[in-house]
Amino acid sequence: QSNVTIYGIMDAGFVGERGGKNGNVSKVSAGVANASRIGFKGTEDLGGGLSAVFQLETGIKGDTGELDANNTLFNRQAFVGLSSKTAGTLTLGRQYTPWYNAFVQVGDPFQAGLSGSAKNLFPANGINVRNSNSVYYKSPDFSGVQAELFYGFGEQKGNSTGRQLGASIAYQNGPLNARLAYNYRNNDAASGNVVTQNQSGHNSLLAVNYDFKVAKAFFMYGANQGRNSVAYPSGSDTAYSTARVLPSTDSKNLLLGATVPVSPVGSVVVSWSSVDDKTAPNHDADQYAIGYLHSVSKRTTLYTSYGKIKNKNGASFTVGNNAESGSGDAAYNVGIRHTF
Amino acid sequence: QSNVTIYGIMDAGFVGERGGKNGNVSKVSAGVANASRIGFKGTEDLGGGLSAVFQLETGIKGDTGELDANNTLFNRQAFVGLSSKTAGTLTLGRQYTPWYNAFVQVGDPFQAGLSGSAKNLFPANGINVRNSNSVYYKSPDFSGVQAELFYGFGEQKGNSTGRQLGASIAYQNGPLNARLAYNYRNNDAASGNVVTQNQSGHNSLLAVNYDFKVAKAFFMYGANQGRNSVAYPSGSDTAYSTARVLPSTDSKNLLLGATVPVSPVGSVVVSWSSVDDKTAPNHDADQYAIGYLHSVSKRTTLYTSYGKIKNKNGASFTVGNNAESGSGDAAYNVGIRHTF
Amino acid sequence: QSNVTIYGIMDAGFVGERGGKNGNVSKVSAGVANASRIGFKGTEDLGGGLSAVFQLETGIKGDTGELDANNTLFNRQAFVGLSSKTAGTLTLGRQYTPWYNAFVQVGDPFQAGLSGSAKNLFPANGINVRNSNSVYYKSPDFSGVQAELFYGFGEQKGNSTGRQLGASIAYQNGPLNARLAYNYRNNDAASGNVVTQNQSGHNSLLAVNYDFKVAKAFFMYGANQGRNSVAYPSGSDTAYSTARVLPSTDSKNLLLGATVPVSPVGSVVVSWSSVDDKTAPNHDADQYAIGYLHSVSKRTTLYTSYGKIKNKNGASFTVGNNAESGSGDAAYNVGIRHTF
């Protein structure tokens, strides 16, 4: 039993959404600041700086008790591998992409949660976030520089069908934390013996934060090209009309944000982010968001936030939160996050 | 890891059922006395009498390993919230109704299990038992008096569509334990933008037990009005005929029962309960049940029980147990319940 | 929490398959040497040599995080019961058959894993392996002799419909470990009130291993008669042609194998196994396999293996591994198994 650590987050709050075609929505949501989850992980010291590691993480809808994905018990993470202090970490299984790690760990002051989640405008969903059947390598830290490499097997007819490749390079030095990440996805599809060739998708991201002590500043710039480089979260593409709005195949994202400690236990988070659609429909959008987090203990935080999106030319972005994609162009919430 | 407690029950036994249209049934069942389950819970002391609490509870079919509800990992309970010694407990998630808490904690000597489960005749199934997307408040104890309040969001088009409200008031004093509970469910249904208005359901329950030392006496009286105030458990409505028997929309329940300690480790449980259908079909029923529980340790109990229902005028009640609804008008069982 | 032990295996590796109708397959697999799993178990001492026991074991696809069977959280094992030092162990739930216990614990040097898994040719799949709604009894050890008895309720119309019976007798003495096992399955099927009578299936198995110190030798002989006595693993029956190849209803299996320790932490495993089909299609097959396991610690092992099958007269056996049935007549793998 000492070989396994149980950990998790239970997050629940009240959410109000405005501006969608179905009007005002009031609900209890779980996973507003962070997705509710329960996980099991362990490390075995093999000597000589080497260790074996594993992790299994279940995503749950804390308001209904449902799995976040049907029949996928460990949808969030499931991997095993070896970690060496001198040679880096190699793991196999269902894992995050380097692109998403850069996005959530470095670039978004809302860390992909609350009404200000940069996921509302940035293409952080589906297999851009995590991938089954993947190999992940993280280098050791070389004077602040670290690299991540990622290969996701498509496991379909043909070696390249449906595969995904990712990489990132990180630089950390005192108050500066910067990461450049890239993700490639092969969109070919196999049906029996026939492989249909499709355009590939490419996502690049530069994420930087800098701690000025009075505030921590955040910057992100993303470029997304090709099929499936961007996808509306489930439901967002019909939030304002019954006809489905198609995602762009050539767009840029920008984010500016900050976290400002206002007391020993409270901090304000703000961000502005945008989509610049380079294709003909010109589905641009801006998002403004503010949030406040109040730590009642090391493990328990109360939160509230508000986010507002301006969709242009029929764009169909929605203000969601970490676990839900939202139903309109504005949303507020108030809730609790408890880690264990 | 010390933040999480793992707990559960594994219950398994042999069940024989008689009197249904498919004849005699012999089987291995799990969840006869109590539903088999495994759960994770924790409490964090926040100081000043305040604490953060969470609970996640999986219902399992211990005889097959299946989840008790498809894709709902924590179908039994999933909530997080704050608990204060002076202000009470407020939790959000998937939770029991005050009506069901009164039913199982105070009113039924069989505690909703074994062949004598009062669930066989009382409307303790579906969302009368527990509700997703709910807010639950339990007051502190004021000289033996405690209140529970419950609100379950319908999370459909329209503020009231599908919502559920509940409340109870409890009084505990020495050997006396009494609770009065009420549950309201809005039966409106939304399909896209169209909300269909339906009659609401109402359940009231008075549950009392009194410990005379030589025996503990139990009394319950319930009144159920409106659509969905009563529902036959899955399968019971076709147990005796191929045509489905419809539930009543106006009925009363009564229960008299007792638990009698017959040795330091053994106790006999008996109950008589009834349904008085006030609608035209007059689907009344009586149930007689007896059980014996033998504790082989603090955590492990052997049990046996027998229950018999007299259905009148084509009523379709069945003798089930905690986790199964039964196939006929009589059933016996023998098994083991192990808590961990 | 001290009442529950969490345990499990995370296994992941690279697998290459050859010779199937879809050509070369490269993939990340989990469950190559052993199926990835996480479980919860406990024992309560009841005094006098008696204890209560329970176990709940989840099978997971470690490469995707999915459950190994839809909606069955504890598909591998789920049981509760009593264990006595003098009277044996009686458990109820979802459990292994005596036939499979003999196969995996005594007869197969690959322990049903890696490319050499004897499951590739022996009928170790479906309810031959484990059964829901079952009662299992294991006798105490009488001077090296132990018996297992197994009864799986069909839980369908008619007492015998779909039921399964099993038994084994084991003898262990110094370097010798022998077991004779038998499994019977009733293949009748109920549809509503109508029970269709079908031929029953019978499997017998003699499994022996002997530890010569320089090597441990393995021998298995199996006889399989009747409907469903043999089944191709899912997908294997169409691995080489689009038309489904039917399993034999009268066949024999043979295995010769050895594990050879080549260093304090390394061992080589080899086996030859065969199918002798006694029916007209004469679907015989041979399998040759070799593997190497290298323990980097008590809990972590690196492995590699290669297996090759010669199918005769249109037989459709495939080289799989513990959790996957394979796509062709040859396969290799390299990976890691981490127990916790």
Mutate to test the interface with B, among A71, A299, A340 (most CBs of B within 10 A): A340
CB contact under 8 A, B81 and A12: yes
Contact B62, B90 (CB under 8 A): no
> What's the mean per-residue pLDDT of chain B?
95
CA closest to A132 among chain C residues: C64
Tens of pLDDT, residue by residue over B113-140, are 999 999 999 999 988 999 999 999 999 9
Average pLDDT over residues A127-156: 95
CB contact under 8 A, A340 and B44: yes
- Residues of C with Cβ-Cβ distance to B59 under 8 angstroms: none
CB contact under 8 A, A28 and B52: no
- Helix, strand, or coil (residue A325): coil
CA closest to C340 among chain A residues: A3
Surface of A (43-82) touching B: CB under 8 A: 58, 60-67, 70-71, 73
Structure tokens, A332: 């507020």
Per-residue pLDDT at C121 exceeds 90: yes
Please state, as a whole number, how many other Cβ atoms lie within 10 Å of the Cβ of residue B213. Answer: 7
Question: Of C12, C27, C300, which has the smallest distance from its Cβ to A93's Cβ?
Answer: C12
Tens of pLDDT, residue by residue over A34-64, are 999 999 999 999 999 999 999 999 999 989 9
Tens of pLDDT, residue by residue over B288-301, are 999 999 999 999 99
- Residues of A with Cβ-Cβ distance to B78 under 8 angstroms: 30, 36, 60-65
Residue A123 Cα, gap to closest chain C Cα (Å): 22
Helices (runs of H) and strands (runs of E) counted in chain C: 1, 20
Residue A107 Cα, gap to closest chain C Cα (Å): 27
Determine the pLDDT at residue C190.
87
Contact B115, B80 (CB under 8 A): no
- Helix, strand, or coil (residue A131): strand
Average pLDDT over residues C142-164: 92
CB contact under 8 A, A63 and B193: no
- Residues of A with Cβ-Cβ distance to B153 under 8 angstroms: 26-28
Tell me the H-state helices in chain A: 98-102
- Residues of B with Cβ-Cβ distance to A11 under 8 angstroms: 80
Cα torsion angle, A225, A226, A228, A231, sign: positive
Distance CA A298, CA B45 (A): 11
Distance CA B167, CA A119 (A): 39
Least confident of A182-191, B185-194, B211-220, C58-67: B185-194
CB contact under 8 A, B157 and A22: yes
Determine the pLDDT at residue B2.
67
CB contact under 8 A, A73 and C67: yes
Tens of pLDDT, residue by residue over B32-79, are 999 999 999 999 999 999 999 999 999 999 899 999 999 999 999 999
User: What is the band of C1 on the pLDDT scale with cuts at 50, 70, 90?
Assistant: very low
CB contact under 8 A, B52 and A4: no
| Bridge partner list, B17 | B25, B331
Average pLDDT over residues C111-128: 96
Determine the pLDDT at residue B1.
44
Residue C195 Cα, gap to closest chain A Cα (Å): 32
- Residues of C with Cβ-Cβ distance to A93 under 8 angstroms: 10, 12, 28, 30, 62-63, 65
Q: Answer left, alpha or beta for residue A21, where phi above 0 means left and psi between -120 and 50 means alpha.
A: alpha
Determine the pLDDT at residue A2.
67
CB contact under 8 A, A133 and C10: no
The bridge status of strand C25-29 relative to strand C5-18 is: antiparallel
Question: Residue B173 phi/psi, 5° resolution?
Answer: -155, 110
Domains and CATH numbers, chain A: 5-339 (2.40.160.10)
Distance CA C211, CA C218 (A): 9
- Residues of C with Cβ-Cβ distance to B336 under 8 angstroms: 52, 80-82, 92
Please state, as a whole number, how many other Cβ atoms lie within 10 Å of the Cβ of residue C34. Answer: 21
CB contact under 8 A, B28 and C93: yes
H/E element holding A83?
strand A77-84
| Closest to A261 in 3D by CA, of A209, A208, A215, A206 | A215
Distance CA A303, CA A337 (A): 8
| Bridge partner list, A52 | A44, A82
CB contact under 8 A, A93 and C38: no
Determine the pLDDT at residue B194.
87
Determine the pLDDT at residue B62.
86
CB contact under 8 A, C65 and A153: no
Contact B83, B89 (CB under 8 A): yes
Q: Report the complex ipTM.
A: 0.94
Mutate to test the interface with C, among A71, A83, A157 (most CBs of C within 10 A): A71
Determine the pLDDT at residue B102.
98
- Residues of C with Cβ-Cβ distance to A80 under 8 angstroms: 10-12, 30, 36, 62, 336, 338
Distance CA C60, CA C48 (A): 38
CB contact under 8 A, C133 and B63: yes
